[in-house]
């Protein structure tokens, strides 16, 4: 399976639109002659178009240089990830490798042909002075058919896809096309093909004070689904983002739990804890491996006694392989799409009607809990204090997520408080990282000792981690005080 990152924009013009001369746009010196191709694609989706509604497009295409199965993830107009897989002569459906990548978006439900798009394409390359391809411009005469309701459409579209060019080139081409009468199209061809059916789904959050809370929760659910394919393949950023989204969602369901059925909300939170745990095993291993690799290589060579870096690398590689396999097994399990389906029912169903004061009271309560937990933690020393600081950090994460709900309506004051919570949370995280790293080093040192290897370097790294942790408290106190200034919290009392 090949994976590429696609950066393109789409444009449409009225009858009679002609592609303007694009030389001079962002370093374009030459425009190649057009090459023609006929493309025929069948798009697959669930009966309720969950893939398209989740920012996914799955198709089997014939014709062109990249014929086969394609899965695109992401919104039109931004960077989209495309997974490509060869097509068989008699495919009854997407190959298992692609089916695994849409399991989140499809909620584990079967996909069937949803639309067919036939496209006559004329493609040109935009070249710089050295003959380097900056972008490809495709003029498409499109005919689509909704394979469920039979609706057909035709239109003319221009696609501009970056190759070695940058966003400035896209902006310059977009300005030239706009001057010639083109309009940027914010949706894909598959969206346009099934537009009538998509109009039957209202995915907007409810109006009123509960709207920002529900909208925030849905964004986290969508982030889980949007990062599924890359996380399944072990991408570090996707695993991190998927884990953060599950954590934000858990916190939101707890902080504002009166909006939804409490029993179901708690059940869903428990399942999110399970998912977060599977993601956490992968992410924590990735972070710890990088952290200790850097720590070892930062030491002078004469202080690294024995094959410390190699041993750590071998052991973390084995741990990561095991954790990644466990994560894939979890995402392949029916428990995962069942969780997403329950989330859909909870978040897309009716929410309790509340006023803004109800929302703000719960935000203030989350903030007060975090403040109290940190004050208690700072009064405790030793290992118990480390545990208490970690619990305080988790409370501040919940408080930060609660404040994020109001960023859209409270604006800059809420954004400032979020930023200060983040700074405090990062300091507490650095302290917790030191605690965890010391324990990991202790375990590896015991293993090295049992295998007859020198443990000096492990002890040195342990001591450095302990020393660094001792410097955290004054910074934590300063960051705490910055979060409690009246100027950044006044808006919460309005």
For 332, the token pair is: 């392949």
Residues 6+ apart with CB under 8 A from 185: 10, 11, 12, 76, 157, 192
pLDDT along the chain (494 residues), means of 10: 87 86 93 95 96 95 90 84 86 90 96 97 95 95 96 95 93 94 92 94 85 94 96 94 97 95 95 97 94 94 94 94 96 97 94 91 95 94 90 96 89 91 93 92 94 94 84 86 92 80
Q: Residue 287: how many CB atoms within 10 A of its CB? A: 15
For residue 13, the model assigns a pLDDT of 81
Helix (H) or strand (E) holding 266: helix 262-297
CA angle 359, 361, 365 (to 5 degrees): 120
This prediction's pTM: 0.92
Residues 6+ apart with CB under 8 A from 168: 26
For residue 159, the model assigns a pLDDT of 95
Question: Rg for the chain (alpha carbons), in Å?
Answer: 27
Taking CA atoms, 72 is separated from 33, 113, 158, 379, in Å, by 28, 16, 18, 52
For residue 474, the model assigns a pLDDT of 86
* Beta-strand pair 30-31/183-185: unpaired
Residues 6+ apart with CB under 8 A from 188: 10, 52, 57, 72, 76
For residue 407, the model assigns a pLDDT of 86
Name the burial class of residue 490, with classes exposed (0-12), middle (13-18) and buried (19+) by CB atoms within 10 angstroms of its CB.
exposed
For residue 470, the model assigns a pLDDT of 67
For residue 473, the model assigns a pLDDT of 81
Q: What is the DSSP letter of 492?
A: G
The SS3 call for residue 139 is: strand
Q: Residue 241: how many CB atoms within 10 A of its CB? A: 19
List, as one string, the DSSP characters of 471-485: THHHHHHHHHHHHT-
The SS3 call for residue 64 is: coil
| Rounded Cα distance, 476 and 416, in Å | 18
Q: What is the DSSP letter of 48?
A: T
The SS3 call for residue 194 is: coil
Residues 6+ apart with CB under 8 A from 208: 353, 354
For residue 64, the model assigns a pLDDT of 84
């Amino acid at each position: 399976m090949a994976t590429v990152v696609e950066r393109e924009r789409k444009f449409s013009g009225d009858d009679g639109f002609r592609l303007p001369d694009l030389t001079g746009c962002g370093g374009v010196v030459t425009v190649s002659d057009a090459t023609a191709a006929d493309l025929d694609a069948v798009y697959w989706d669930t009966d309720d178009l969950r893939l398209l509604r989740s920012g996914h497009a799955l198709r089997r295409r014939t014709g062109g240089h990249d014929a086969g199965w394609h899965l695109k993830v992401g919104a039109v107009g931004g960077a989209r990830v495309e997974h490509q897989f060869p097509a068989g002569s008699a495919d009854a459906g997407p190959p298992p490798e692609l089916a695994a990548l849409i399991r989140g978006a499809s909620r584990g439900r079967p996909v069937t042909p949803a639309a067919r798009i036939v496209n006559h394409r004329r493609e040109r390359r935009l070249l710089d002075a050295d003959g380097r391809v900056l972008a490809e411009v495709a003029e498409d005469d499109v005919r689509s058919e909704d394979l469920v309701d039979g609706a057909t459409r035709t239109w003319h579209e221009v696609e501009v896809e970056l190759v070695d060019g940058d966003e400035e080139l896209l902006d310059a081409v977009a300005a030239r096309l706009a001057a010639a009468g083109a309009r940027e199209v914010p949706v894909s061809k598959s969206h346009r093909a099934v537009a009538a059916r998509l109009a039957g789904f209202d995915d907007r959050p409810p109006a009123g004070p509960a709207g920002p809370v529900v909208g925030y929760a849905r964004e986290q659910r969508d982030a889980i689904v949007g990062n599924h394919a890359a996380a399944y393949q072990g991408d570090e950023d996707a695993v991190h983002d998927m884990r953060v989204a599950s954590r934000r969602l858990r916190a939101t369901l707890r902080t504002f739990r009166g909006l939804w059925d409490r029993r179901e909300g708690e059940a869903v939170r428990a399942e999110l804890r399970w998912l977060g745990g599977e993601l956490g095993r992968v992410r924590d291993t990735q972070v710890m491996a990088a952290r200790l690799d850097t720590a070892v290589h930062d030491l002078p060579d004469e202080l690294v006694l024995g094959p410390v870096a190699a041993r750590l690398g071998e052991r973390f590689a084995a741990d990561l392989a095991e954790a990644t396999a466990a994560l894939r097994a979890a995402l392949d399990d029916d428990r995962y799409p069942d969780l997403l389906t329950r989330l859909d029912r909870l978040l897309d169903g009716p929410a309790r009607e509340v006023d803004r004061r109800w929302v703000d009271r719960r935000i203030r309560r989350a903030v007060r809990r975090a403040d109290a937990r940190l004050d208690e933690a700072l009064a405790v020393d030793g290992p118990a204090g480390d545990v208490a600081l970690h619990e305080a950090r988790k409370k501040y994460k919940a408080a930060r997520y609660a404040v994020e709900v109001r960023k859209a309506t409270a604006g800059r004051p809420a954004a400032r408080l979020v930023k200060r919570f983040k700074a405090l949370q990062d300091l507490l995280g650095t302290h917790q990282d030191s605690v965890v790293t010391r324990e990991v080093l202790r375990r590896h040192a015991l293993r090295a000792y049992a295998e007859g290897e020198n443990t000096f370097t492990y002890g040195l790294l342990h001591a450095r981690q302990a020393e660094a942790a001792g410097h955290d408290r004054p910074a934590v106190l300063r960051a705490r005080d910055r979060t409690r200034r009246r100027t950044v919290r006044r808006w919460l009392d309005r």
